[in-house]
Every structure is written in structure tokens, then in C-alpha cells.
Amino acid sequence: MGTVPLLTDDEISPEARAVFDEIRAVRKTDFINNFWRALAHDPALLRATWDRLKVVMAPGALDPLVKEMLYVAVSAANSCSYCVHSHTASAKARGMTDEMYAELLAVVGMASQTNAIVTALQVEVDDAFLA
């Protein structure tokens, strides 16, 4: 259904294979989801995306579950169907409970509602909010 065929393990270059190997090792699973199989057409983009994703989503001042929920929120706002599915699955795998998911949905909905109303009203920013 995509604009490029999804590549199987047999069809990828050695550079792409090296990234797949890392993904499998880091995630402790043989499963490679379709995003990476589509990116494998361009090993350089695959490598850059994976290398950056590893850094950005690693534990830090925010824990990985919070990061996955932020990813879901942005993906929903950007209407990326694939990304909503994959990062919701990741968030669940990292421990997002039904209650947390319900609150995430409520915040995403509330923010989208007030975003639209504020934009329609063109409310000017309070001086108190400026850095």
C-alpha cells in the first residue's frame, strides 16, 4: 500500500542489514516493523533515523514511557496513522495502563480543542508568559 515495497531481510543491503541487526539486539526481538522495511530503500536515512531515535528515546530526565506518550500525542496531532499505531503499541509495551491511556486521550482532545479556539480568537500572548 506504500509508495515503495517493504523490503524483506533478503532484499536489503549490508548497511541496512547492520541497522536491522542493531534494532533486533536493542529491542530483544526478531520483529522488524514496516517503517524500517520501507526506510531500508535508503540505508543512509535508515541509519540516521535509527541512530537519532535511539538517543532521543533513551531514558533521561524523562522516562521512556513518558516519551512514548509524547510521541503518540504528536503523531495524533499530525494525523499519522502508522505512527499512532506503532507508538501506542510501544507505550503499552512499556507499561501504559488503560487509565493512563484514557488520560492521554483526554489531554490530547482538550489541547486540540483549546488550540483551535485560541487560534480562532487569535488571543495575544500574555507578557507573563514571555521568556
- Work out whether the CA dihedral 101, 102, 103, 105 comes out positive or negative: positive
By CB under 8 A, the count of residues binding its own copies is 82
120 contacts its own copies (rule: CB under 8 A)? yes
Q: Which is nearer to its own copies, 10 or 129 (CB)?
A: 129
83 contacts its own copies (rule: CB under 8 A)? yes
Q: Taking the complex as a whole, how short is the minimal distance between the CB of residue 44 and its own copies, in angstroms?
A: 7
86 contacts its own copies (rule: CB under 8 A)? yes
Q: Which residue has cell 506503532?
A: 86
Taking alpha carbons only, the member of 70, 63, 62, 61 closest to residue 107 is: 70
Question: What residues from 8 to 67 belong to the interface with its own copies (CB under 8 A)?
Answer: 31, 33-35, 38-39, 41-42, 44-45, 48-49, 52-53, 55-57, 60-62, 66-67
| Residues whose CB is less than 8 angstroms from the CB of residue 26 and which lie 6 or more positions away in sequence, other chains included | 54
67, containing H or E segment: helix 64-77
